[in-house]
Amino acid sequence: MDQLILADLVTDLPNAVRLQRTVHTLREHFECDAVGLLSLDDDSLRLVAAAGLAHEALGRRFVVAQHPRFATILSRREPTWFEPGSMLADPYDGLLDDKKGVPLPVHDCLGMSLYIEGRLWGAVTLDALAVGAFDSAALAELQRYTLMLEAAIRVTALERENRSLRQLGSSLSGALQIADESEIVGESDAITQLLHELDVVADSDLPVLLTGETGVGKELFARRLHRRSRRNQKPMVHVNCAALPESLAESELFGHVKGAFSGASSDRAGRFEAAQGGTLFLDEVGELPLSVQAKLLRTLQNGEIQRLGADQAIKTDVRIIAATNRQLKEHTRAGDFRADLYHRLSVYPVHIPPLRERGRDILILAGHFLEFSRARLGLRGLRLSYAAERALMHYAWPGNVRELEHVISRAALKTLSRGASRDQILTLDPDVLDVDTAPLASDAEAGNSPGAAPGGTPETADAQYAAEPGSGLPSHRSSLAAASAAGHAAPQAVMPLRAATDNYQRQAIQHALLHTQNNWAQAARLLELDASNLHKLARKLGLK
């Protein structure tokens, strides 16, 4: 194993790939069921790489004070082994792939804290369902291999730092946090490319216009832009333009002097002055009245403001980040938004992708909200069933991330209201999610189904291959319905039953692989098959 880890250290690998490969190497060497690499962020641990854990686990933040096993591991510099009969609750209850949604049986658990540059960075954990898997030799080995794991983390941090120095001139201490923007959860290509683009543009002072549907989290991305900019030591001031009454909008933005209007009993600085040297975030900028748009344009052109009722101008040094869910270019043609202001704000436009285009990020975000709901409601555990995972992946998410948060919170409360105990591991099924998995008309017309893989890969299969309950196979009825809807008559020839079954199985496997971007392990989980049986079936059907 030493050679494998060392080879990864000297090989030019993406950061996430290096850590993931190291975790898989640890799992194979110790012959355990699950390995987790967790980064400490304030008072919480967050999984940055894992093997043998459910996909949703990657979105969870474990508050250390709520998990005594994690607290014990972090309090020691040497490996910590928990006796199989330990009464301390296991944070991974119901999260192991082989035991999803059920309490972990008596098992072996081993963990060790990780230190980088003398600072506590996080921890590594190993779980084995076979009692007695970890002996004194395993503890000694983990201590030795932890040094290599810390080296892998250090190399990853240094590479991140080198990129930051080229782009931003950031400090090493910021780079040592593998994911310092923990509130932006996701690993899809769409979100990874977006974050990289934002990091590049953050170092400039160009105005940025963030566009996207409601609920995609535009404010979070605006805050990342500010934190990664040279203005990060100065304030970022948030203005909700939709909530500004036209009569008070000018005063709110530019300030006023005493006596400027009835009720102005003293001088008051506006949002531009409050953001001096920093960033002004104009949220829902498309809602600004035309009269205010003209004054905002003048401020952006001249770099100065004038308080309401004052004669003298005040120089401003503010970076503008604006956000909207409107199609502002169309509104400029309609005369609802000034074209000159639009061009001032959209020097660098950035589109935030909707949730349905982020693939498996849906489950990672669901895990994030599940852990939040578990802690808020005081539950032992809160998980998704495989059927619930499929329902989330097939839903169109018109309300995006905000809607997903509400769906998870509501489902947890519904499950409790039906008599479930807080001392149990609660598993959410599709009936409490209340999501309609029928594709939206716009998706069908575009050839993209909800929950499509990143990049908008066409998937007509969602409409055609709705699974029969519990079968994991495409529905014959839905296939005929799809053919009829497309204006095609059902085929007249009758296929032999074995050949028809093989065809349906082949289509179901291909559909699952399309959803998981050719990840066979994830496809096996979607089809509710053992991974080895899926490989055998695929070979039998000529797919491998």
pLDDT digits (tens, 9 = 90+) for 439-469: 443 444 444 444 443 333 333 333 333 333 3
CB 459 within 8 A of CB 466: no
Check whether 170 has a pLDDT greater than 80. no
Q: Among the listed ranges 136-140, 304-308, 341-345, 459-463, which one has the minimum average pLDDT value?
A: 459-463
Mean of the per-residue pLDDT values for the chain? 80
What is the rounded average pLDDT of the residues 172-182? 40
Work out the angle between the directed axes of helices 218-227 and 189-202 (0-180°, nearest 10).
Answer: 40
C-alpha distances in angstroms, 517 versus 88, 110, 129, 508, 533?
Answer: 38, 33, 29, 14, 19
Nearest Cα to Cα of residue 338 among 327, 328, 350, 326: 328
CA angle at 336 for the pair 334 and 338, rounded to the nearest 5°: 100
Return the top range by mean pLDDT from 1-15, 43-57, 60-74: 60-74
Nearest Cα to Cα of residue 523 among 515, 3, 6, 494: 515
What is the rounded average pLDDT of the residues 186-211? 93
Check whether 312 has a pLDDT greater than 90. no
What was the pLDDT predicted at 160?
62
- The share of the chain scoring above pLDDT 90, in percent, equals 40
Name the residue with higher pLDDT: 19 or 354. Answer: 354
76: left (phi over 0), alpha (psi -120 to 50) or beta: beta
Locus of tokens 């291999």: 145
> Residue 533 has which token pair?
């049986």
Q: Which three-class secondary structure string do you get for 155-170?
A: HHHHHHHHHHHHHCCC
Name the residue with higher pLDDT: 453 or 311. Answer: 311
Task: Give the alpha-carbon dihedral of 453, 455, 460, 466, to 10 degrees.
Answer: 20
Q: How confident is the model at residue 346 (pLDDT cuts 50, 70, 90)?
A: very high
Nearest Cα to Cα of residue 425 among 377, 362, 361: 377
Cα 322 from chain centre = 22
d(CA 122, CA 154): 13
φ, ψ of residue 233 in degrees (nearest 5): -85, -5
d(CA 126, CA 114): 14
Neighbours of 165 (CB within 10 A): 13
What is the rounded average pLDDT of the residues 125-136? 88
What was the pLDDT predicted at 72?
95
Q: What is the pLDDT of residues 219-249, one digit of tens each?
A: 999 999 999 999 999 999 999 998 888 878 8
What is the rounded average pLDDT of the residues 276-283? 96
Work out the angle between the directed axes of helices 15-30 and 2-10 (0-180°, nearest 10).
Answer: 180
What is the rounded average pLDDT of the residues 470-493? 43
What was the pLDDT predicted at 177?
40
d(CA 79, CA 94): 24
**What residues are paired with 38 via a beta bridge?**
47, 123
Cα 449 from chain centre = 20
Q: Among the listed ranges 117-121, 208-212, 346-350, 511-515, which one has the minimum average pLDDT value?
A: 511-515
pTM score above 0.75: no
What single string gives the DSSP state of each residue in 418-454? TT--TTSEEEE-HHHH----SPPHHHHHHT--TTPPT
> Residue 161 has which token pair?
């730092």
Check whether 481 has a pLDDT greater than 60. no
Neighbours of 40 (CB within 10 A): 19
What is the rounded average pLDDT of the residues 262-280? 88
Check whether 483 has a pLDDT greater than 60. no
d(CA 35, CA 30): 10
What was the pLDDT predicted at 164?
52
φ, ψ of residue 412 in degrees (nearest 5): -65, -45
> Residue 385 has which token pair?
């069933």
Q: How confident is the model at residue 169 (pLDDT cuts 50, 70, 90)?
A: very low
Instruction: Tell me whether residue 476 is exposed, middle or buried, using C-beta atoms within 10 angstroms of its C-beta: 0 to 12, 13 to 18, 19 or more.
Output: exposed
What is the rounded average pLDDT of the residues 164-188? 53
Q: What is the pLDDT of residues 383-414, one digit of tens each?
A: 998 899 999 999 999 999 999 999 999 999 99
Nearest Cα to Cα of residue 282 among 253, 337, 321: 321
C-alpha distances in angstroms, 252 versus 255, 256, 296, 371?
Answer: 6, 8, 12, 38
What is the rounded average pLDDT of the residues 48-63? 87
- The share of the chain scoring above pLDDT 70, in percent, equals 80
What was the pLDDT predicted at 104?
64
What is the rounded average pLDDT of the residues 268-274? 90
Work out the angle between the directed axes of helices 531-540 and 497-515 (0-180°, nearest 10).
Answer: 130
Q: Summarize the chain as % helix, strand, coil (round to 5).
A: 45, 15, 35
